[in-house]
Amino acid sequence: MAELTGYIDAPTLKKWLNDGVEIALLDAREEVPFDQCHLLMASCVPLGRLELLVDALVPRRSTRVVWCDDGEGLAARAADRMAAIGYGDISLLEGGVAAWKAAGYPVYSGVHVPSKAFAEVVEHEAETPWVSAEELQAMIDTNADIAIYDTRTYAEYHGNSIPGAISVPGAELVYRFADLTPSPDTTVVVNCGGRTRSIIGAQALINAGFPNKIVSLKNGTQAWHLSGFDVVRGATRRAPAITEDGLAAARNAAARIAQRFEIEQIDERRLDAWRLESDQRNLFVLDVRTPEEFEAGHLSDVRSAPGGQLIQETDTFLGVWGGRVVLVDDDGIRATVTASWLIQMGWTDVAIIKFDPTSNALARGPYAPRTLGYKPGNVRTINVDTLRSQLAAGSVQVVDLADSKTYRKAHIPGAWFALRTTLCDAIARIPAADNIVLTSPDGVLAELAATDLNGMTRILEGGTQAWVDAGESVEDGGKRMASEPDDIRLKAREQPGNIEDAMHAYLRWEIDLVNQMAIDDDHRFRVKTD
């Protein structure tokens, strides 16, 4: 088993973050406490989900890793767990976030801060044009020649959108622009829920050299809501299949971007060579197409990372600063656009690769992360039929380890919510029963948790999905919370209180990031404006 290197102080970490050597800075807390105060360069890797996340975030086992928390002791536990599954160069930030702050270094609230701060810097440096919600409503009222493109995920767009908007997520904007846009005279408005993807989407189209007037919607659908305009729920407008003419226009646009940002294109031989070097350099190979295209066929050992989401939440895909990044698609267009943003964010070793989507050698299905330390069959199990009988007899308590949002949406009737990190304390709060059964969406996290408890519990075979597949009923709501549900920071519109106040606060926070970046020398942004 690998051992900890030991504790390092804040000045040492500061030096390491800027010495050009690969480094993974990981925060072991749940998302809500992480959201309240953390280091700019840190990725949130909660202790309870470490084995599910860390292989994709930190591929090379000899990577220099630093864990931090805010004094809760979680970082030390995470470091021990990471060492146990094969990592060999692990340190702890002595004193955690408080020590970093006491040393005079900046700390941040919020999630995905590097991505959100980058967009603010882009708008400031590139002078990305925008329109207000009121200006956009006036255009709609006067039947102006406009097109509104919502650059969030389809699920977000479907949940709340602006009248007339079309779902065109992230990297799809340049790819589908020519087919979607009526004419060069059409004014194009790009929106998201707040600011980040609006700015990046609009500036991507401008960088691509399209002749239209292109603007972002200042403050996105939140500004639309705050201005009192109608928000559409359940919208379904999506871009049609790309045409030959549209593809040709997108290729030309991507060629302009590739030349401007000096984007390297590699072949499979080079990728294979880099894979052989993965014990020396971290290698991230990410497919930036849509999830549907990925599932239809993709290169093996590749993670799905739709281009817009990759730039929106880079810290959840790339956990090692200084790692090598290869972006994959079938024609290079979306990979090129996405690469141009990663390069400006400070990822210096980025390349793209194209592949044949008709090849018979492709892998199929959704991305399945590798869970480290997982050995199926090491714990006692219970099947759906037996669990149903025991629930009817009142002889069992079910504990669901899904994330709190998933639990609230649907769980086995009577199940309690708990986080793996605080599972022992959570079980002590649950009414006594003859048996305790752990479940999670696919059963994997439940099995890891059961292993922690040394046989005190059983797990549901196949997890909650097996229960659903068997035709059993589920319920929603969050009445039985045995752990504090601090694993997911709710968006402004999801807050239980005054969502307008939450929106205003969020937008103020986001806009101020550009001022914080002006005095922070750890970020690596270099926006190209010439």
What CA–CA distance (Å, rounded) separates 118 from 342?
A: 10
| Residue 268 in tokens | 């499979």
3-class secondary-structure state, position 251: helix
| Structural element, H or E, at residue 325 | strand 324-329
Q: Name the token pair of 280.
A: 């020396």
Q: Is the pLDDT of residue 1 over 60?
A: no
- pLDDT, average across residues 99-109: 98
Model pLDDT, residue 2: 46
Q: How far is 308 from 296, CA to CA, in rounded Å?
A: 20
Question: Does residue 467 register a pLDDT over 60?
Answer: yes
Query: How high is the pLDDT of residue 360?
Result: 84
What is the distance between the alpha carbons of residues 277 and 326, in angstroms, rounded to a whole number? 14
**pLDDT tens sequence across 323-374:** 999 999 999 999 999 999 999 999 999 999 999 998 889 999 999 999 998 8
pLDDT at residue number 4: 58
pTM over 0.85: yes
Query: If DSSP codes are grouped into helix, strand and coil, which group holds residue 429?
Result: helix
DSSP assignment of 281-308, as one string?
S-EEEEE-S-HHHHHH-B-TT-EE--HH
Average model confidence (pLDDT) for the chain?
A: 96
Class for domain 261-354, per CATH? Answer: alpha beta
Residue-level length of the chain: 530
Q: What is the pLDDT of residues 394-431, one digit of tens each?
A: 999 999 999 999 999 999 999 999 999 999 999 999 99
Exposed/middle/buried for residue 270 (C-beta within 10 Å: 0-12, 13-18, 19+)? middle
Looking at residue 455, what is its pLDDT?
75
Q: Which of 355, 348, 344 is nearest to 287 (CA)?
A: 355
**CA-wise closest residue to 281 among 323, 321, 325, 318:** 323
Residue extents of the structural domains in the chain: 4-110, 117-255, 261-354, 381-469
Assess whether pLDDT exceeds 90 at residue 36. Answer: yes
Residue 493: pLDDT over 70: yes
5 pLDDT tier (thresholds 50, 70, 90): low
Rounded CA gap, 390 and 334, in Å?
52
Q: Compute the chain's Rg from CA coordinates.
A: 24
What is 117-255's CATH number, 3.40.50.2300, 3.40.50.20, 3.40.250.10, 3.40.50.1000?
Answer: 3.40.250.10
Domains 4-110 and 261-354 share a fold: yes
Q: What is the CATH number of domain 4-110?
A: 3.40.250.10
Taking domain 381-469, whether its CATH number is 3.40.250.10 is answered by yes
